């Protein structure tokens, strides 16, 4: 199994090109199911999850053609997806268990084919992650859903899905995405209240509009969708990855570095940039992107994760690694997922001083971290270990690299280009 080997202590300086957003790509790809036209997505990141989603769609009858080679350190990768006909409406356990985002085919399949059979995703390393909100929202559009042998079997009424009123009791990114993709082909108007406002939802809305959908309130917590009888193909460019950008910002912070995050979008990252500033980093906006400069150690701070526009749960682990080497004590509270502190014992093995009390982690900054073999159970936790390794004395080996490959495009390449001593060992 691959491992990443990092010899820490290098100050990172230079520019990092930010890739297309994983979590936007994973909701834009299933849009292909909504039309018999061609959907071309450009700026698509090269990630294991994107490939897995492509395979899932292939199994449903969607043809996928990848075009565009990598140029320099840029990425002009595009995928053209064509669902002339839906050949299957089954998302099998074998794919869904590896990638929870597979649940996002449920809404589009119901809307276009009138039925869907999707494996239940099961548990996950960061929390329980139920899908009840996805199901209730689709039921509000007339879907009938039953559970049999670990699979959800969903059917639209004979005339197709009907517009309805969905009011989410808590904010869910995935459930908002699923019901949006269903509502665009439903009969009549759908109102979605307490919709997630994450930038990836706005990206999804813009792509659907480019395909002919009618959506009001984009970017707000009330979305109004006027259903259409059909959508057409479109060319759409995936937004930049705000979490990748934030992760590299923390790499600048933890190494006392100076990184230009090329192509990053500041409007999508306000809470992240505020957090960096509170930690004493300098954030400047340049024409090519966002520059993050660190002088000395980061300062301790208090943060609480919450739905957008607040501080994202997907940045909690990376900030924790940075603050583990901070001056003073930090308090991080995780309000989205109940089990998202799996990186804490691994960071502790490198010398971090962190106490978890319920949903709150108290991080007492230490003067140094020491390299060690470490492993994590999820993507962002793995990135926090890479960050710790960049600043630690000696060598860090990060195991279970497949987590990183799900969400960070060409990680070792991007980090080495700005001065990190990092390599992948494929024989480990």
Q: Is 23 in the site for ligand EPU (CB under 6 A)?
A: yes
Q: Report in angstroms how near the CB of residue 379 gets to ligand EPU at its nearest.
A: 4
Is 207 assigned a catalytic role? no
Cβ 261 vs Cβ 16: under 8 Å = yes
Q: Is 379 in the site for ligand EPU (CB under 6 A)?
A: yes
| Beta-carbon contacts of residue 58 (< 8 Å; ≥ 6 apart) | 64
β-partners of residue 153 are 117, 146
**Number of residues binding to ligand EPU, judged by CB under 6 A:** 25
> In 3-state terms, what secondary structure has residue 84?
coil
Which strands sit side by side in the sheet containing 38-42, from one edge to the other? 63-67, 78-82, 38-42, 234-237
Q: Taking CB under 6 A as the rule, which mask of x and - marks residues 258-297 in contact with ligand EPU?
A: ----------------------------------------
**Site stretch for ligand EPU (CB under 6 A), options 128-136, 346-354, 365-373, 408-416:** 128-136
Indicate the residue whose CB is closest to ligand EPU: 174
Q: Is 50 in the site for ligand EPU (CB under 6 A)?
A: no
Name the residue among 213, 142, 139, 122 with its Cα closest to residue 175: 139
Q: Is 405 in the site for ligand EPU (CB under 6 A)?
A: no
Q: Report in angstroms how near the CB of residue 152 gets to ligand EPU at its nearest.
A: 12
Q: Taking CB under 6 A as the rule, which mask of x and - marks residues 407-426 in contact with ligand EPU?
A: x-------------------
What does the alpha-carbon distance between residue 21 and residue 49 come to, in Å, rounded to a whole number?
A: 11
> In 3-state terms, what secondary structure has residue 394?
coil
What does the alpha-carbon distance between residue 156 and residue 58 come to, in Å, rounded to a whole number?
A: 23
- Select which of 31, 124, 205, 207 is catalytic: 124
Q: Is 314 in the site for ligand EPU (CB under 6 A)?
A: yes
Please state, in angstroms and as integers, the Cα–Cα distance from residue 213 to each residue in 61, 169, 189, following that order.
23, 26, 12
Q: Report in angstroms how near the CB of residue 295 gets to ligand EPU at its nearest.
A: 30
What does the alpha-carbon distance between residue 4 and residue 371 come to, in Å, rounded to a whole number?
A: 12
What residues from 200 to 259 belong to the interface with ligand EPU (CB under 6 A)? Answer: none
Residues that bind ligand EPU (CB under 6 A): 23, 26, 101, 127-134, 170, 172-175, 196, 312-314, 336-337, 379-380, 407
């Amino acid at each position: 199994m691959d491992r990443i080997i990092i010899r820490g202590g290098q100050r990172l300086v230079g520019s990092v090109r930010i890739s297309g957003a994983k979590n936007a790509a994973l909701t834009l790809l299933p849009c292909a199911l909504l039309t018999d036209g061609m959907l071309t997505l450009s700026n698509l990141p090269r990630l294991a999850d994107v490939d897995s989603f492509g395979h899932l769609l292939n199994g449903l009858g969607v043809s996928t053609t990848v075009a565009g080679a990598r140029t320099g350190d840029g990425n002009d990768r595009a995928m053209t997806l064509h669902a002339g006909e839906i050949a299957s409406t089954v998302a099998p356990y074998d794919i869904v268990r590896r990638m929870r985002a597979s649940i996002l085919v449920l809404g589009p399949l119901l809307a276009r084919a009138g039925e869907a059979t999707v494996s239940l995703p099961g548990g996950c390393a960061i929390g329980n992650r139920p899908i009840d909100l996805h199901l209730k929202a689709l039921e509000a559009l007339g879907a009938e859903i039953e559970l049999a042998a670990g699979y959800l079997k969903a059917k639209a009424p004979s005339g197709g899905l009907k517009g309805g009123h969905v009011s989410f009791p808590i904010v869910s990114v995935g459930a908002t995405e699923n019901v949006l993709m269903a509502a665009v082909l439903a009969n009549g108007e759908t109102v979605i209240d307490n919709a997630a406002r994450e930038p990836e939802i706005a990206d999804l809305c813009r792509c659907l509009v480019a395909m002919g959908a009618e959506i009001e309130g984009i970017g707000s917590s009330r979305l109004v969708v006027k259903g259409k009888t059909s959508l057409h193909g479109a060319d759409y460019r995936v937004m930049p990855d705000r979490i990748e950008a934030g992760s590299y910002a923390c790499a600048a912070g933890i190494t006392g570095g100076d990184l230009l995050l090329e192509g990053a979008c500041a409007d999508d990252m306000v809470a992240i940039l505020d957090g960096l500033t509170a930690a004493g980093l300098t954030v400047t906006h340049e024409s090519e992107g966002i520059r993050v400069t660190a002088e000395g150690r980061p300062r301790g701070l208090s943060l609480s994760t919450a739905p957008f526009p607040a501080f994202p749960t997907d940045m909690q682990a990376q900030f924790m690694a940075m603050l583990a080497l901070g001056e003073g004590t930090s308090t991080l509270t995780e309000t989205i997922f109940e089990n998202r502190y799996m990186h804490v014992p691994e960071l502790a093995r490198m010398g971090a001083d962190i106490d978890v009390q319920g949903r709150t982690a108290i991080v007492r900054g230490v003067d140094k971290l020491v390299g060690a073999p470490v492993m994590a159970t999820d993507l962002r936790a793995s990135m926090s270990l890479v960050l710790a390794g960049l600043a630690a004395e000696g060598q860090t080996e990060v195991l279970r690299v497949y987590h990183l490959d799900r969400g960070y495009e060409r990680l070792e390449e991007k980090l080495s280009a700005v001065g990190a001593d990092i390599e992948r060992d494929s024989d480990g």
